[in-house]
Amino acid sequence: MSAADQYQEGLESSTGALSSLSTNLSDAYKDFDSIEEEWDQHRDVIAEELKEQMVDDQRKGDPADHWVTSVARRRKPEMYAAWRKAKRRIEKLTVQSSNTRSQLTGFQSLLKTEQHLDGGQHDQSSRRGLPVHGQRRAA
């Protein structure tokens, strides 16, 4: 198998992987959106309860975000765990997608270079007078 064939195979493999990752990422965002909506509704209920508690204690302002999150996590830890898991899945798939895209670009570059070299276009004139490795430039 020639280098060009290997690069083409890698290109096709990366394209398939990227397509699969895109589908998985789309599904992950749909899941995350529904989980996040539930989590936000839960946090809103907690925030209102804490706000009422602050009014009863004659304190002004709104409850701090970290306080709302802490109370919400303690009351429904399974909901928070699901939200974190969905968020991590998106982050993981995003990194994998970026890495696969970089791999795809690399295979495209290698294939283009290989095709350029196989096309007989690789000669001294295309190097713009630069010396070949190990040779000195003519004076």
% of residues, the chain, pLDDT over 90: 62
The reported pLDDT for the residue numbered 99 is 93
pLDDT of residue 11: 85
Quick: pLDDT tens for 50-96.
Answer: 999 999 999 988 999 999 999 999 999 999 999 999 999 999 999 99
pTM of the model: 0.70
pLDDT at position 41, please?
A: 98
Cα–Cα distances in Å, from 101 out to 11, 17, 62, 75, 104?
10, 9, 44, 41, 5
What pLDDT shows up at residue 3? 81
Domain range summary for the chain, segments of one domain joined by +? 14-115
What digits encode the pLDDT tens for the residues 121-132? 544 444 455 455
Looking at residue 126, its pLDDT comes to: 47
Determine the pLDDT at residue 4: 79
